[in-house]
Chains A and B, each alone.
Chain A
Amino acid sequence: AQKITQTQPGMFVQEKEAVTLDCTYDTSDQSYGLFWYKQPSSGEMIFLIYQGSYDEQNATEGRYSLNFQKARKSANLVISASQLGDSAMYFCAMWPVTGGTSYGKLTFGQGTILTVHP
């Protein structure tokens, strides 16, 4: 079974500063994918970034980057130059890239609420 842990229930950051949201995972699978989703107050789930376990380089998407440390089983999200619109709940998720009944099923962490102050 997979498990995602997000230990920061809430985080605060000043506008234009960078912030790191922590995510650790536990899995016995050799191959897996890691995702970050953003959920604003309006409720929708917005895909931000993806990292495959086989990727040697950290994934980046605009102001988002994923600090992937495979040996430590961590996949932290870094948001650079925070904006007021970044205030939201952020979820880390993973799935095993293997066959079997767990195929394609995302396991989510409990989320971190990010508040960006002006």
Chain B
Amino acid sequence: NAGVTQTPKFRVLKTGQSMTLLCAQDMNHEYMYWYRQDPGMGLRLIHYSVGEGTTAKGEVPDGYNVSRLKKQNFLLGLESAAPSQTSVYFCASSYDSTGWDETQYFGPGTRLLVL
């Protein structure tokens, strides 16, 4: 049981390049989330998904797209990377949000540097 995994762990991009971050979970969780963490700040939600085939915008969605074609995977895409997207990206998952104690379990993070 690997929990939540993320690939890659670290990536350097040039401005304007595109890339996809992959998140995978093996806990059969319904909900998945993408956050970004910037220095001196807590995590901010980019996009989330409440189930296979569904996605929704979070707090800071601009410049990102997501897809949830399979229940266990949640992809985060940057179509044209900008230096402002330099950050640490965390994926998280939870069983569902209808319960009272739905802990979100986090992946190890992806460090992205955009030059």
**In whole angstroms, how far apart are the Cα atoms of A107 and B3 in the complex?**
22
Q: Give the B interface residue count (CB, 8 A).
A: 29
> Chain B, 87-104, contact with A by CB distance < 8 Å: what is the 0/1 string?
010101010110011111
Known: A93-B42, A111-B42. A104 touches B103 (CB 8 A): no
User: Min CB distance, A1 to chain B, in Å?
Assistant: 10
Comparing B17-25, B44-52, B69-77, B78-86, the segment that makes contact with chain A is B44-52
User: Min CB distance, B101 to chain A, in Å?
Assistant: 5
Whether A104 lies near B105 (C-beta < 8 A) is no
- Inside 8 A of A47's CB, which chain B residues have their CB? 103-106
- Inside 8 A of A4's CB, which chain B residues have their CB? 42
Within 8 Å of chain B (Cβ to Cβ): is A68? no
Within 8 Å of chain B (Cβ to Cβ): is A44? yes
For the complex of A and B, the 5 pairs showing the least CB-CB separation, nearest first, are: A108-B42, A104-B97, A45-B106, A108-B43, A52-B100
Chain A residues proximal to chain B, CB less than 8 Å? 4, 33, 35, 37, 43-47, 50, 52, 54, 91, 93, 95, 97, 101, 103-106, 108-111
